Amino acid sequence: MEFFKTPNFDYIKYHKLFFGLSGLLAAATVAGLVVRGPSLLSIDFTGGTLVQGYFQKAGDAAGADAQGAEISLDRVRAALATAGLNGAELQNVPNHNAIILRFKSNAGEAKTELVGKVTEAFARAFEGYAFVTERAEFVGPVVGRQMVSKAVLAVFFSMLGIVVYVAFRFRNWIWGAAGVFALVHDVFLALGFMALTGREVSITVVAALLTLAGYSINDTIVIFDRIRENIRLRGRHSKEPLDALINRSCNETLSRTIITSLTVFIVLLSLLFLGGEVIRDFSLALTFGVIVGSYSTIFIATPMVYLWQRKRSKPLH
């Protein structure tokens, strides 16, 4: 299957335009991160107040037998949003028919006041049901500072490993450096997208960004491999310029890139609109990431290789 029979786009010619576009997106990302500040981080990183309870039908006796009144998390989330209690993380408690609500708040905030707001919101939304609070307490962040610092080190050494491995396989470190640059470009812009759209960065979003990193480097390496193959087939004595060869390689893989990205994009759209609120942030970050990842491979990573080679005297392998 091919979308284009004989594409002939000149990607290298307009590299300054696309570098400028990425620069603008990066500036918007920085602005979004600065404006959002600590509010960008979810309760997983900041801690907050935990409220656990269950819905009891009016007239039932209290106790284990009465904990069977199930109301879906979507309805609970809608009731909280109507009452202005946005941003709560919800979780079912298996075999207990209870729900856990996590709110981003300070340790000094009155728990009783929050419980009162929650109870009042549920009383208005679910007539005939009473919300019975089992516990309300301040909880610390799931992801501590030590875990964050270790994760940053792990990501740094992972990227260093990618550069070394790709440099070894392609016999030139610029391939690895360009691939990692595109990877960082994609993850950074996806983070900015979440900030600018008012979403929070939770453990789920971090998982999406790491998944995006894997997708991005894989997509980049496929096109790099086609460029390297064409360089080898061309030989050192061919008169075909490097920019023409890179353009030809990108055009040869354009249909493959579009089909692969479109396939992943359709799956992510299905998760985004049908997967529910629990995985919405995960799907949203990856959906944007797939678009920007496909863009950066062609318009950012490959021009970087060309610009580097233009300043070197040795042939590109």
Cβ count near 200 (within 10 Å): 21
Question: What does the pLDDT read at residue 192?
Answer: 94
Average pLDDT over the chain, rounded to whole? 83
Confidence band of 232 (pLDDT split at 50, 70, 90): confident
At residue 106, the pLDDT reads: 57
Phi-psi region of 245 (alpha: psi -120 to 50; beta: other; left: phi over 0): alpha
pLDDT single digits (tens) 70-90: 788 888 888 888 888 877 888
Whether the predicted pLDDT of 60 surpasses 70: no
- pLDDT above 90: residue 118: no
pLDDT single digits (tens) 135-150: 888 777 766 667 677 7
Burial class (CB in 10 A: 0-12, 13-18, 19+), 214: exposed
pLDDT in the model for residue 30: 95
Read off the tokens for 183. 């990877």
What pLDDT score does 64 carry?
A: 42
What per-residue confidence (pLDDT) applies to 75? 86
Mean of pLDDT values over 90-116 = 75
Task: Please determine, for residue 66, whether its predicted confidence score (pLDDT) is greater than 50.
Answer: no
pLDDT score of 136 = 84
Q: For the stretch 117-143, what's the b/e string if a residue is b when 16 or more beta carbons lie within 10 angstroms of its beta carbon?
A: bbbebbeebbeebbbbbeebeeeebeb
User: How far apart, in whole angstroms, are the C-alpha atoms of residue 244 and residue 102?
Assistant: 56
User: Is the pLDDT at 37 greater than 90, yes or no?
Assistant: no
Going by their DSSP bridges, the two strands 89-93 and 98-103 should be labelled as antiparallel
What's the whole-number mean pLDDT along residues 99-113?
73
Query: Stretch 165-188: mean pLDDT, rounded?
Result: 86
Among the listed ranges 101-115, 243-257, 294-308, which one has the minimum average pLDDT value? 101-115
Strand, helix or coil for residue 241: coil
Look at residue 287 in the predicted model and tell me its pLDDT: 93
- pLDDT at 34 (0 to 100): 93
Between 18 and 314, the higher pLDDT residue: 18
Mean pLDDT of 207-211: 89
Long-range residue pairs from 23-32, CB within 8 A, at least 24 positions apart, any chain: 25/189, 25/192, 25/292, 26/185, 26/188, 26/189, 26/192, 28/192, 28/196, 29/188, 29/189, 29/191, 29/192, 29/193, 29/195, 29/196, 30/192, 32/192, 32/195, 32/196
User: Where residue 109 falls among pLDDT bands split at 50, 70, 90?
Assistant: low
pTM here is 0.79
At 135 the three-state DSSP class reads strand
What would the two tokens of residue 66 be? 């009465």
Contacts of 182 (CB under 8 A, 6+ apart): 216, 217, 220, 293, 296, 297, 300, 301
pLDDT band at 17 (very low <50, low <70, confident <90, very high): very high
Task: Decide: 244 and 317 in contact? Cβ < 8 Å.
Answer: no
How many helices and strands, by DSSP H and E, does the chain display? 11, 4
Reply yes or no on whether the pLDDT at 239 is more than 80: no
